[in-house]
Amino acid sequence: MKKVFFVGFGNLLTAMVTPFDANNQVDFAKTTKLIEYLLANGSEGLVVGGTTGESPTLTTDEKIALFKHTVKVVNNRVPVIAGSGSNSTQASITLTKAAEKSGADGIMLVAPYYNKPNQEGLYRHFAAIAGETALPVMLYNIPGRSAVKISAEIIIRLSQIDNIVSVKEASGDLDLAADVIEHTADNFSVYSGEDSITLPLLSLGADGVVSVVSHIAGNDMSEMLKAYQSGDVARAASIHRKLLPVMKGMFAQPSPVPVKTALNMNGIDVGDVRLPLLAMTDSEKEILKNLIQR
């Protein structure tokens, strides 16, 4: 594979939901409208087909169609990162190759879930996939969903592979993040995978966030990042505190149920969620509505 030339994904990336129609099929017209809305409201990159995009319930064909559609609509305005990871190394390689063919700017590889590999197994899984693509790779460390944590040592080892350039860190382990930032090259980027710890991670040297709350507060998240980067830490902290209840509200129910509900409330029609996720009850919607309005 040719050596990757990586110039970065941006600071505020949105883990994009997947819009569905009334029959719970992927709705590409709604997807186009959502993409334009996100790009007009602070998003500097889009992650497609990830957890927030309900990847466990998307078929391979649906994922590839989403990659192609998003790349076409975005038209090189921001990076498009395709969620091509799974708990099958070979299946991940196949989907990664399809993502590369679709024109995606990078791929995101989640830690293999359910089969619970050891750390050396994690290393070989990610290295095998990275070796089959020229695209830049973002690792995704989320033990709360995958049941395995990628250790700092393994992330640091993986960062020495040319096209493994980034990690979405959602373990909640600030010590791990600090260790990775300290012992990887300056051009290896670390992103918060949880909105609520973005500012603490920035203070450790992280580069930005792969955000969910940016669906409804993108400009606020962008302002927080820019304030911190410009040295106005007090302003960044003030915005963080203001957004914190909304950040928590986006995960009061299994994600992406709250954020899809919030988008629909705000006039951005993204449809419902697929089973086994369930729509919010009327009382839950009322709580969310009051939270967003405040």
Which residues belong to the active site? 140, 168
224 within 8 A of 200, measured Cβ to Cβ: no
Distance linking the first and last C-alpha atoms of the chain: 51
Bridge partners, 209 (sequence order): 12, 192
Strands 45-48 and 164-169: unpaired
Q: E strands, 43-202, where?
A: 45-48, 80-83, 106-110, 137-141, 164-169, 189-192
Can you say whether the dihedral through the CA atoms of 103, 105, 108, 109 is positive or negative? positive
Q: How many CB atoms lie within 10 A of CB 134?
A: 13
Q: How far apart are CA 246 and CA 239, in angstroms?
A: 11
Closest CA to 80 of 29, 14, 140, 32: 14
d(CA 67, CA 106): 11
SS3 211: strand
- Longest CA span, the chain: 54
Query: How many other C-beta atoms are found inside a 10 Å radius of the C-beta of residue 248?
Result: 14
What CA–CA distance (Å, rounded) separates 156 from 151?
Answer: 9
